[in-house]
Structure 1
Amino acid sequence: MSATIDRPAPAETTTEAVVARLDAATSAFDAPFAAVHLPTLDANAADLVRRASGTPIRVASKSVRARAVLERALGAGLTESGGFRGIMAYSLREALWLVEKGARDVLMGYPTVDRAALADLASDADARQAITLMVDCAEHLDVIAAAGATGARLCLDVDASLRIGPVHLGVRRSPLRTPDAAATLARVAASRGFAVVGVMFYEAQIAGLPDSSAAVRLVKKASASELSTRRGAVVDAVTSVVGRLEIVNSGGTGSLEVSSADPAVTEVTAGSGLFVPTLFDRYRAFTPRPAMFFALDAVRRPTPKIATLFSGGYIASGPAGASRVPTPVWPAGLKLLRNEGAGEVQTPVTGLAASALRIGDRVWFRHAKAGELCERFTAVHLVDAGGAVTTVPTYRGEGQCFG
């Protein structure tokens, strides 16, 4: 499947209009199911390219988990004005499978200690050329070597968090932080026969943090400044050991402008920005255009003011709380019950629109995160501008579950 990246914005410019188009196009399907509005998806892809300002974008498969959508983004290729190139995978087994299906540039987003998968990598010449493993300590080298994959392509994961005294702002990822530490690991890896081809910096405290207050924006600005200086020093230090790096990866959907502005960065990563889940609603850098939704049917009317829907307990990962719960968006005016929320087998809703829902009526939701929704379905329905539907498998629909 191919696509261009300069498509116009969809005619349906509001969430309500998009969902109304999806609802009409999928009326023959039985819920629960997931659907994507392709004109909005394409407009989001074009906006990501615009925001990256010519820096290539690596697609984060964790935030997609449907090969047809990965291929749609990658199908445009890379032009002088930017575009999509390569995949960032979250599992080595996933990366091996994607290479089997034709992928030729897969960067692991996380280290792996999957010995069987590493042995498969070691025995597959195509996979060894296509896949770059992520490491952040010498113990990772030991595991890879023990599986017979000495000589594998490696990328060093460098801590991109902001530290102010004892305060750590960001995710707990890599123990590597300083130029000296990164250069030391690069030197050890090279001496053991590995090919160190890149470094990665994921600034979660910028990319994954909505612009919810002036204080948050100030912290993000300070973090970007600190990281830009340190990132350049790390790149210089590692380059002095192994030579020119193919990959200096940084960023995410929420920080493309910041990351791509650094001349040391050769590529940025994005995936959630294609679907735009609710966690990306409060960023100043871009206007959210939700493209992916899921539908549930009303199966009970326990009271005149409550309608109960089948299924729907699709809670997102991360710290437990209201931000990880799916949101009803159509019909407008619905809300979850505080004491039940979204349940595994039933989800009651109330609000102004609930009293008008009849048995069999449909309610549409947005998920809090992007690709995680695909773990709940074996297929997703892609709806084009004319209302035509193409049903494609998710990873699960292709019999794949990578944890």
Structure 2
Amino acid sequence: MDLGVLLANAREMRERAGRLPIRLASKSIRVRGLIERLLGEDGYAGVLAYSAAEARWLVGHGVNNVVVAYPTVDRATLRAISADERLASEVAFMVDLPEHVQLVSECAVDHPLRVAIDVDCSLRVGPVAIGAHRSSVHRPADAERIAALVTSTAGVRLAGVMFYDAQIAGVPDSSAAVRLMKKASLRELAHRRSRVLAAVTRHASLDFVNAGGTGSLHLLRDEPGLTDLAAGSGLFTPTLFDQYDGAHLHPAAYFVSPVVRKPSDDVVVTYSGGYVASGPPGESRVPHVAFPAGLRTFGQEGTGEVQTPLRGNAARALRVGDLVWFRHAKAGEMCERFDEVVLLEQGRVAGRLPTYRGEGQNFG
């Protein structure tokens, strides 16, 4: 982890977010020490977690203001958070169905639990929905029904609303058609968001209204009604973030594997390396060689479970034991493969931090 580049990315993202603080998307980091370090930087406040158990663990280590971005059915963790006044005051859980509200209510055995409404931000074009398949709440009327249910249900308190614009924040600017789609979606969502918030705030005052991602910080910075923007992947800048307009971000995270074989002059084999990212299978989800330049995988093998063959002129200068540097397609997922990250500053090792895995944690 190039710490200087990581912090430069953090500053660039903060500038793009303008007046709004950035809530760290923990799934794109998965290193508690880095989360704590970044929360000490100006313009960063709060965490957007991906697991209820993770949220409990983070708050137990002193992290404040954690929103769980996905609904949970982890009753044991919900009860444990309700039993602790500080945990209950610092964590909010996502809901978009009556079943979610009922489950959280049943687990609120001591202190009330805070919930937030996850609003579907997809762009609807006739019967087609462009965006992530997340929430059942799309229209203002949908949001108002859930808000009314929450405010009339014992043991839960409506604390916030989240708008994740996956088709804007999470899609590279790869063509004119994509840019046109994003522009249309941004316009539609701004209009719908104001109506959703008007409907929800008829029932409760909100602690937070979250939106965005790395790819949409600069597009949402002046949106009225928002209190914070979520982002995380841009800190590491994996390969999926190489084609975003207006983002001056640079790769900060790598995994490194030694050459263990050399079958021929222009072919080397590195150990392991088959760390394929989630999402639709294809070339965009596999790791790519960052250094030395000019190495490429074999089409019939790709990056492998226990070895990765690479070919190219750069292989001629490599020997057994030399290192090949790779970039992952996504950010935090890479950390599930390793127990620690090595922090580099100006080419020197400045420290090491355990990943979630290195701390013995597995949140899915």
Would the TM-score normalized by the shorter structure come out above 0.5?
yes
State the match for 1:236 in structure 2. 198
Which of residues 327, 333, 338 is equivalent to 2:299?
338
State the match for 1:133 in structure 2. 93
SS of the residue aligned with 2:189? helix
Q: Does 1:245 align with 2:206?
A: yes
State the match for 2:310 in structure 1. 349
Instruction: Give the Cα–Cα distance (whole angstroms) in 2 for the partners of residues 333 and 400 of structure 1.
Output: 37
Q: What does the per-residue CA deviation read over 1:69-105, in whole Å, with 9 as the maximum and x for residues that have no partner? A: 111110124xxxxx00000100000000001100111
- Quote how far apart the aligned CAs of 1:261 are: 2.3
- Quote how far apart the aligned CAs of 1:356 are: 2.0
Structure 1 unaligned spans of 5+ = 1-35, 78-82
User: What root-mean-square deviation, in Å, do the aligned CA atoms of Structure 1 and Structure 2 show?
Assistant: 1.1
Instruction: Give the Cα–Cα distance (whole angstroms) in 2 for the partners of residues 161 and 257 of structure 1.
Output: 19
Instruction: Give the Cα–Cα distance (whole angstroms) in 2 for the partners of residues 253 and 317 of structure 1.
Output: 18
Kindly tell me the number of residue pairs found equivalent between the two proteins.
362
Match runs of 1:118-267 below 5 Å: 118-148=78-108, 151-193=112-154, 194-242=156-204, 244-267=205-228
Match runs of 1:59-70 below 5 Å: 59-70=24-35
Does structure 1 retain, via aligned residues, the 8 Å contact 2:12–2:248? no
- Quote how far apart the aligned CAs of 1:288 are: 3.0
Does structure 1 retain, via aligned residues, the 8 Å contact 2:295–2:313? yes
Q: What does the per-residue CA deviation read over 1:327-385, in whole Å, with 9 as the maximum and x for residues that have no partner? A: 00101111111111111100010012012211111100000000001000000001123
Instruction: Give the Cα–Cα distance (whole angstroms) in 1 for the partners of residues 192 and 212 of structure 2.
Output: 15
Q: Does 1:374 align with 2:335?
A: yes
Which of residues 263, 279, 282 is equivalent to 1:318?
279
Match runs of 1:274-293 below 5 Å: 274-293=235-254
Instruction: Give the Cα–Cα distance (whole angstroms) in 1 for the partners of residues 54 and 274 of structure 2.
Output: 25
- Quote how far apart the aligned CAs of 1:305 are: 1.9
State the match for 2:21 in structure 1. 56
- Quote how far apart the aligned CAs of 1:245 are: 1.5
SS of the residue aligned with 2:102? helix
State the match for 1:19 in structure 2. none
State the match for 1:387 in structure 2. 348
Which of residues 104, 126, 131 is equivalent to 2:64?
104
Does structure 1 retain, via aligned residues, the 8 Å contact 2:162–2:211? yes
- Quote how far apart the aligned CAs of 1:386 are: 6.1
SS of the residue aligned with 1:342? coil
Instruction: Give the Cα–Cα distance (whole angstroms) in 1 for the partners of residues 246 and 113 of structure 2.
Output: 37
Letter of the 2:96 counterpart: D
- Quote how far apart the aligned CAs of 1:169 are: 0.3
Structure 1 runs of 4+ aligned residues shifted over 4 Å read: none
Letter of the 1:358 counterpart: R
Structure 2 unaligned spans of 5+ = none
- Quote how far apart the aligned CAs of 1:301 are: 1.1
SS of the residue aligned with 1:373? helix
Letter of the 1:303 counterpart: S
Instruction: Give the Cα–Cα distance (whole angstroms) in 1 for the partners of residues 297 and 349 of structure 2.
Output: 31
Letter of the 1:287 counterpart: H
- Quote how far apart the aligned CAs of 1:175 are: 0.4
Instruction: Identify the range of structure 1 (259-268 vs 64-73) with the bigger mean alpha-carbon deviation.
Output: 259-268
